[in-house]
A and B are shown apart, each in its own frame.
Chain A
Amino acid sequence: MTVILCQTEFSPYAEMDAYQQSMGEAAGHYGATSVFVGTMRDLNLGDAVTQMTLEHYPGMTELRLGQIVAETQARWALIDVLVIHRVGEIKPNDAIVLVAAWAMHRGAAFEACRHIIEELKHTAPFWKKESIRDGERWVENNTEG
């Protein structure tokens, strides 16, 4: 399991590929990989969004993400999990979050990936502030998904 908070732009696909290449003895054990990539939209609540700042609670955010992944690994048979989340200044089309779950079978991989992103959105201490034409505003609620 690896959880990373990232201050700068990252390629979720390159990170996933590099992580999978470095798995070592787990290679060959997994038959299913489920991946979620969240990307910054340029539109929210009907307004054009030009930039976003992602604030977090250093220490608690990493701790909570680690707990979410550990709880997920206890519930589904997973071989490995990688979570990367951006913090700081973000532009439209930047990747914000990557969740990748490797398992023997697709059921565990799909369900674990979905569970991690939903738990992350509802319990990991991150807060988004959007820049729109009229200034800035805090995002108060999660979207339905």
Chain B
Amino acid sequence: MTIRVRYFASLREKMGRVEDTLVYEDIATVADVWRVVSTGQPLPDHLLCAINLEYAEPLATVRDGDEVAFFPPVTGGMG
């Protein structure tokens, strides 16, 4: 199973990279993806997740070829 993992904003800077490509057989959920890319850390509560450009919960299922993204709370607009 191949998963593209992307990071944005302050998380991207903290990770020190914009993305990873995972080739693993034992990934079932978004939280599993995080555990692999963070070398065993639990998913922080404040981080948001997406699968294939749509928001997803940590226990959502990932499939071969999916793009998973992690990012901090969003701060668009103004006023």
Contact = CB atoms under 8 A, between A and B. Distances in A.
B8 A117 contact: no
Given A55-B9, A59-B53, A97 B75 contact: no
B43 interface: no
Interface residues of A, number: 34
B46 to A, nearest CB: 9
Interface stretch (B23-31, B34-42, B57-65, B66-74): B66-74
Interface stretch (A25-33, A72-80, A123-131): A123-131
Interface in A72-113: 85, 96-97
Contact of B9 (A37, A85, A97, A127): A127
A21 interface: no
A120 interface: yes
A138 B54 CA distance: 23
Nearest to B46: A140
A125 B8 contact: yes
A57 interface: yes
Contacts of B73: 140-142
